[in-house]
Amino acid sequence: MAIASAATGDGPRLGWLWALGLIGVAGTAVGLAGWAGATWWGVIALGAEYTVLRVGRGPVDVGAAYVAAGSILVAELVMWSLDARSPVVERPDATIRRLTHLAVVALGTLVLGSLIVSAGRIAHGPALTRTLAGALCAVAILAVVAWSSSARTSGRPSPDETS
């Protein structure tokens, strides 16, 4: 990003972009070296760099979904690499499931990011559309919470059964 920005000749922001980019890379490197806590600072710095790049540059950027997918993949991969350093040997089925998990997370992030970007663009549209979108989101959140709660309690025996 810093290199791209330098190519565009954006003088005042260049220092910030370089600094945040370096912090991001350094944080990830330290995270890979074994201190997991540094990874989050790296991810935050990279996100902040992207924000600095986007400040004052019009409406919401479609590329934000890709940045989000990249950020979460970086975090997940760093965690995986830290796990891989333990002497525990992973069976192939566990590796395949982890890869599948990564793919689902990346794809889900792209879909979710696109939805939020679309919602952001709708925010500039008519009030009725915004209200409908907000109501839909609220219903969806309630549905997710209800499903999760039922999934948690379905496996437990009822009080009558336990007594």
Partner 1 sequence: MTRHPSPKLAGYASVAGVFLVGALASGRPELVVIAAPFLVILVAGLLTTEAPEWTTLALDVERDRLIEGEAITLTVTIDAERDVERVEVVLPLPGDVAVDDGDAALAFHLPAKRRCTVSVRLRFPRWGVYPIGDVHVRAHDRLDLFRDDDRLDARRPVKVFPREEALRAIVRPARTQLHTGNQVARRVGGGIEFAELRPFVPGDVVRSIDWKATARRGSPWVRERHPERNTDVVLFLDTFSDVWTGTATTVERAVRATASVAGVYLERRDRVGLVSFGGVLRWLMPGMGIRQDYRILEALLDTEVALSYAWKGIEVIPVRTLPPKALVLAVTPLLDERSVGALFDLRGRGFDVGVIDVSPVVAGPEPDDPIDRLASRIWAMERDRLHRDLRRIGVSVAEWHNGEDLQRAVWEVEASRRSARLVYA
Q: Transcribe 40-55 into DSSP letters.
A: HHHHHHHHHHHHHHHT
Tokens of 104: 């689902």
Q: Which residue do the tokens 């395949």 mark? A: 96
Q: Assign residue 56 a region (left: φ > 0; alpha: ψ between -120 and 50; beta: otherwise).
A: left
> C-beta of 13: minimal distance to partner 1 in Å?
13
> C-beta of 46: minimal distance to partner 1 in Å?
9
What are the CA-CA distances from residue 154 to residues 81, 147, 157 (Å)? 35, 10, 8
Binding mask 91-130 for partner 1 (x = CB under 8 A): x-xx--xx------x--xx--xx--xx--x--x-------
Query: Which long-range CB contacts under 8 A does 61-66 form with residues at least 24 apart?
Result: 61/117, 62/114, 62/117, 64/113, 64/116, 64/117, 65/109, 65/110, 65/112, 65/113, 65/114, 65/116, 65/117, 66/110, 66/113
> C-beta of 60: minimal distance to partner 1 in Å?
5
Q: Which is nearer to partner 1, 2 or 75 (CB)?
A: 75
- In the list 40, 135, 137, 142, the residue contacting partner 1 (rule: CB under 8 A) is 40
Site for partner 1 in 53-82 (CB under 8 A): 54-55, 60-61, 64-65, 67-69, 71-72, 75, 79, 82
Q: Which is nearer to partner 1, 15 or 35 (CB)?
A: 35
Which residues contact partner 1 (rule: CB under 8 A)?
Answer: 36-37, 39-40, 43-44, 47-48, 50-51, 54-55, 60-61, 64-65, 67-69, 71-72, 75, 79, 82, 86-91, 93-94, 97-98, 105, 108-109, 112-113, 116-117, 120, 123, 144-145, 148-149, 151-152, 155
